[in-house]
Amino acid sequence: MHLRPSIVFLIPFASRRVKSQWEIACAHLRQTLGSIQNSTSGNYYVVVAGHEAPDFDVRFDSRFHFLSLTHPIPSHEHYHASLVLDKLTKIASAWDYAKSAWNPMYVMKLDADDFISSRLVAWLQTAGGEAGYLIRDGWVWRSGSHYLIQHTECFDRTCGSCLIIRSDVADQTGPFLSEWEGVSLDEAGSRFAASNPYSLVPGFGMTTVLLTDSCTRFPAQFAYLGHKLPAVPFSAVVYRTGNPDSVEGRLRLNAPPIKTLRMIIGKIRRTRFITQSLRREFMLG
């Protein structure tokens, strides 16, 4: 019989059919798992859900599990929406598995190429039992950079690996599905959604608070459900960039490279050297 874990990490792993560099995707996943294994508390489990297993055995740690899925990749007129819907389908299956296997106290969606702080699981055990926690403070790291990393206090506006949800809240529902997940809005709704990126929008589809990918709207979703969403009080996640196969990476490749002087100066101000302690905390490669 398993003791009830503090948290389960759900990691959706994209199919090799949509990965241009499968070996790199597998290497990134292994590094993500390594950062979790580096946690100072071992009171967690991990479910990796994917169509194909990576080129290594996920079960190199007994707390790590691979869930093999066979659903067709969702089709959508917007390709990025199909990838997001595939990601959410995998998260839903992983969550069903985790609930039946371990009944964890908290759940966190984690992208297959990000890193968590070694302190996060231990902190959660004494955090106070809130309905959820938002990671506002974090790091943005360009994959392969040996010396530099960027700090951000707006991590939740950048990366989806920013939300910890109490298990009894994860399945609560509301109008949380946005255009990002493929919902069609009329012209007025689209304009409202674009100008109000932190609020809920009339016309959004119904789903659970777990099964949405619109990270800027997470606080509004919790407010709709009547819950507070305090912040984790330290830099808890590293968001890896420079991965063209990620949904965000694909969108950036198609976006014009607009950078103002203010943006450039801000980026310089946020840049830090990667210290040995930071490297050890997150197991950065």
Neighbour count for residue 188 (Cβ, 10 Å): 10
According to the model, what pLDDT value does residue 255 have?
Answer: 43
If you average pLDDT over residues 181-192, what whole number do you get? 92
The boundaries of the domain holding residue 272 are 7-282
Q: Is residue 108 part of a domain?
A: yes
Domain tally, the chain: 1
Judged against a pLDDT cut of 60, whether residue 82 lies above it is answered with yes
- 119-132 burial code (b ≥16 CB/10 A, e <16): bbbbbbeebeeebb
Neighbour count for residue 253 (Cβ, 10 Å): 8
Q: Which residue has the higher pLDDT, 265 or 218?
A: 218
Q: Is residue 113 part of a domain?
A: yes
CB 10 within 8 A of CB 98: yes
If you average pLDDT over residues 115-129, what whole number do you get? 97
Per DSSP, the three-state class of 162 is coil
Please give the angle made by the CA atoms of 16, 19 and 20, to the nearest 5 degrees. 125
According to the model, what pLDDT value does residue 260 have?
Answer: 73
Token digits for 18?
A: 């949509």
Judged against a pLDDT cut of 80, whether residue 46 lies above it is answered with yes
According to the model, what pLDDT value does residue 67 have?
Answer: 98
Judged against a pLDDT cut of 90, whether residue 76 lies above it is answered with no
Q: Which residue, 67, 98, 71, is CA-closest to 82?
A: 71
Q: Is residue 2 part of a domain?
A: no
169 confidence band (pLDDT: 50, 70, 90): very high
**Parallel/antiparallel/unpaired status of strands 132-134 and 163-166:** antiparallel
- CA dihedral of residues 103, 105, 106, 107 (deg, nearest 10): -10
According to the model, what pLDDT value does residue 242 have?
Answer: 85
Q: Is residue 140 part of a domain?
A: yes
The share of the chain scoring above pLDDT 70, in percent, equals: 91
How do residues 149-167 score in pLDDT, each as one tens digit? Answer: 999 999 999 999 999 999 9
According to the model, what pLDDT value does residue 92 have?
Answer: 98
CATH of the domain at 64: 3.90.550.10
Q: Is residue 241 part of a domain?
A: yes
According to the model, what pLDDT value does residue 250 have?
Answer: 44
Q: Is residue 139 part of a domain?
A: yes
Across 44-58, 77-91, 99-113, least confident range: 77-91
Walk across the sheet containing 271-273 and list its strands. 115-116, 237-241, 138-142, 148-152, 271-273
- 34-66 burial code (b ≥16 CB/10 A, e <16): bbbbebebebbbbbbbbbbebeeebeeeebbbb
How do residues 229-249 score in pLDDT, each as one tens digit? Answer: 999 999 999 999 987 665 554
Judged against a pLDDT cut of 60, whether residue 198 lies above it is answered with yes
Per DSSP, the three-state class of 47 is strand
How do residues 246-280 score in pLDDT, each as one tens digit? Answer: 555 444 434 445 567 666 666 767 799 999 999 99
Q: Is residue 93 part of a domain?
A: yes
If you average pLDDT over residues 51-56, what whole number do you get? 96
Q: Is residue 45 part of a domain?
A: yes
Count Cα neighbours of 152 within 13 Å in the Cβ-side half-sphere.
Answer: 20
Per DSSP, the three-state class of 98 is helix
Across 6-20, 149-163, 192-206, 262-276, least confident range: 262-276
Per DSSP, the three-state class of 245 is coil
